[in-house]
Amino acid sequence: MLVVEHDRLLVRGADHLIDLGPNAGELGGEVVAEGTVEEVLASPDSLTAEFLRQREATSARRHLARRRRERGMRTVAEELLDRPKVGVEGARANNLKGFDLELPLGALVAVCGVSGSGKSTLVENVLWGNYRRSQGTVDLEVGACDGLLGLDDLDEMVLVGPRPLGRSSRSNPVTYIKAYDQIRKLFAATDDAISLGITPGHFSFNTDKGRCPDCKGSGETEVDMQFMAPVTMTCDTCGGRRFRRDVLSVRWRGLDISQALELTVARAVAVFADNRALARKLQTLVDVGLGYLRLGQATTTLSGGEAQRLKLASFLHAPAGGPRLFLFDEPTTGLHLADIEQLLSTLRRLVERGDGVVVVEHSLDLIARADWIVDLGPGAGERGGELLYSGPMERYLDSVDSPTSRELAEFLAVVGTEARSGGKAG
């Protein structure tokens, strides 16, 4: 059985591991380590081994120890009393048992529990559905509850899910974060563009002024095979480069616009470093772990996890306003342990500026470093839907005996042993 996986338990339970890397995109594609779990853990070049041995484990334990030290001065609960909160009264959609709940802003909130315990119902149907209805929009099933509290203190509620970003192949990472306009202006300001009368609008896939007339800016054409499905081929006119020849003749620091869109995000940060506003926008993509994407890569080709992180990046450089409440549904799905650490760092940036972050999650690496825990259960379906705990992380393990709290206690104990022994704990 061949399994593509990041989960610690499954990785450690494998008979044979193949670790690819060392990084993502064009910086990956090599077999970094291969063999038994013990052999891979001993590899000095494996990022997977490094995280399994120590790095994530140490971070989780330090976070919990810090929360417990702070408890002696001022508890998290006391600190958050002074901040805005969003409340739910009488949540009873599906299997939820009619409980009340408060979610603090300025905190990372982990909603956990076994599969089927009611987590997504609470966050998507009750919280998000009722918020959308309060804004005059009903585009999903609204979960039954007596009401939401604290919306007046909230500038906006945002659901950041893994759903596709759209069907247009013309949408790409730089258009999504609204950075492409600045790139077009750089090219239009060159002597070549000015002499040819080429404006920023010529560097758009959506207008006839600059896009290839045959493929309409897609870079591909369809060949009708009559009784067979059409065949997609690279456009003969532009060679897949999507623009007219005169537009492609414009160079900015030796690059034409097609070559610029082929840059990886990480490379583009350095190329456009002189334009600080543009470089800052591109850096947000690096910060959420998408530095390996190409600027012009169609968003239709992104995975659900990549789409979710791209949405997150679009908010990191948004103008400061009132507090927002961000809702995430299992954002660690498909992420390597190194990516989870990067995601946590990004979520912390939202928290530090006063936003609330609510994450439906099973990853113990993320749950262990939350500020506030909401635990639903104890079981699935009719056996679930109860609010087992809602409160500060540092009190969680001492306050409730649940499937998640038991797994988390074991996880912290085991990874602590791994961190001290260099990865020899089983």
Q: Which pTM value belongs to this model?
A: 0.81
Give pLDDT tens digits for 49-98. Answer: 888 876 445 556 666 666 555 545 455 556 766 777 899 999 999 999 99
> What is the per-residue pLDDT for 40?
92
- On average, the pLDDT of the chain sits at 86
Instruction: Of 48-57, 235-244, 253-262, give the lowest mean pLDDT range.
Output: 48-57
> What is the per-residue pLDDT for 137?
87
Report the candidate in 290, 296, 288 with the shortest Cα–Cα distance to residue 266: 290
Select the more confidently predicted residue: 76 or 212: 212
> What is the per-residue pLDDT for 425?
39
Measured CA distances, 105 to 90, 269, 321 (Å): 20, 32, 14
pLDDT band at 379 (very low <50, low <70, confident <90, very high): very high
What value, to the nearest 5°, has the Cα angle with vertex 241 and ends 237 and 244?
Answer: 60
Residue 169 has pLDDT above 70, yes or no: no
Residue 311 has pLDDT above 70, yes or no: yes
Residue 163 has pLDDT above 80, yes or no: no
Report the candidate in 24, 20, 7 with the shortest Cα–Cα distance to residue 303: 24
- Mean pLDDT value across residues 354-372: 92
Residue 34 has pLDDT above 50, yes or no: yes
> What is the per-residue pLDDT for 69?
56
- Mean pLDDT value across residues 371-377: 95
Q: What's the rounded Cα separation, in Å, for the pair 229 and 353?
A: 52
> What is the per-residue pLDDT for 162?
63
Rounded percentage of the chain residues whose pLDDT exceeds 90: 53
Query: For tokens 């052999």, what's the residue?
Result: 39
Measured CA distances, 63 to 84, 96, 389, 407 (Å): 24, 31, 20, 17
Instruction: Of 30-34, 45-49, 168-172, give the lowest mean pLDDT range.
Output: 168-172
Instruction: Of 143-147, 271-275, 337-341, 369-373, give the lowest mean pLDDT range.
Output: 337-341
> What is the per-residue pLDDT for 268?
97
Query: For tokens 């602590």, what's the residue?
Result: 416
> What is the per-residue pLDDT for 426?
35
Residue 393 has pLDDT above 60, yes or no: yes
Residue 422 has pLDDT above 50, yes or no: no
- Mean pLDDT value across residues 262-285: 95
Instruction: Of 45-49, 83-87, 117-121, 402-406, give the lowest mean pLDDT range.
Output: 83-87
Instruction: Of 72-81, 251-260, 305-314, 389-398, give the lowest mean pLDDT range.
Output: 72-81
Q: What's the rounded Cα separation, in Å, for the pair 211 and 297?
A: 17
> What is the per-residue pLDDT for 421?
42
Residue 392 has pLDDT above 90, yes or no: no
pLDDT band at 418 (very low <50, low <70, confident <90, very high): very low
- Mean pLDDT value across residues 338-348: 86
Name all domains of the chain by residue range, CATH numbers in brackets: 8-53 (no CATH), 74-165+302-421 (3.40.50.300), 173-287 (1.20.1580.10)
Amino acid identity, position 419: A
